[in-house]
Amino acid sequence: MPNAFKTLEQRVLSLLRNDILSGKYRPGDKLRQDEVAKRFDTSTTPVREAFRGLRSEGLVSIDANKGVVVKGLTIDDVTEIYELRIMLEPLLAKKSVSSIKPESLELAGQIHKEMCKTTDPHQWSSLNHNFHIQLMSSESHTRLYEMVKNLLIIAEPYVSLSIFVYPNILQTDNTDHASILKSYRQKDEVQVEEIIRKHLQHTLETIQASVNDDTLSRGYLSQTVYSDW
């Protein structure tokens, strides 16, 4: 039974995430456990766990008095997420340079080629997530890896938003990723660390500008359709 609940939890989490990011639920809206359970024809247990997942992604707040309230995409959240990534991800990348498996490096290269072919914000951000995960997968046994992986998941909606608002950044980002790949292939730990730190800082600045542009952000939310991850 635990496995079934896990599957239901993931499905409910995915659909609720989609509803929030597509604008069906707006910041300030309340999510009621019994109503969500009825909607998805399930018990309250997977719904409760899905709410916790949304909270960990920064999409809702959970308060004993107010209940579960939609937060949406906020400037404070993205700043915190990227400040943490800037601290942790360059360190993890540096550690993974010497231990990365050839097949992981090859797969990262293939993902990068796909990234260069697409202009779809959600597809690109999903590929971006997989690109970074592949490069750092040799450290998947560490706490540092788990922390960075979770930050990548939480950051994905913001990455999509920044591309929607500023599509021209794709060329710069794809060039950055090519430089990251080159440094991994050369096993240049110092260069990898430096490039990733600068790349994340630039991404943060772009996303901050995107989230601040309310009109364009609303346009993005109304057009975005997320798959059942």
Query: Mind listing the domains of the chain with CATH numbers?
Result: 2-70 (1.10.10.10), 75-223 (1.20.120.530)
Q: What percentage of the chain carries pLDDT values higher than 70?
A: 88
In whole angstroms, give the CA distance from residue 206 to residue 149.
21
Average pLDDT, the chain: 86
pLDDT at 4: 45
Question: How far apart (Å, rounded) are the C-alpha atoms in residues 35 and 115?
Answer: 39
State yes or no: pLDDT of 194 exceeds 90.
yes
What pLDDT is attached to residue 6? 54
Please check whether residue 198 is in contact with residue 96, taking contact to mean a CB–CB distance below 8 angstroms: no
Q: pLDDT: is 189 or 25 the higher one?
A: 189
What pLDDT sits at residue 223? 47
Q: Give the three-class secondary structure for 217.
A: helix
User: Please, which pLDDT band fits residue 100 given cuts at 50, 70 and 90?
Assistant: very high
pLDDT at position 5, please?
A: 46
Residue 22 — pLDDT band, cuts 50, 70, 90?
low
Q: Which residues pair with 62 in a beta bridge?
A: 68
Per-position b or e across 49-59, b if 16+ CB within 10 A of its CB: bbbebbeebbb
pLDDT for the residue 228: 36
Residue of higher predicted confidence among 4 and 37: 37
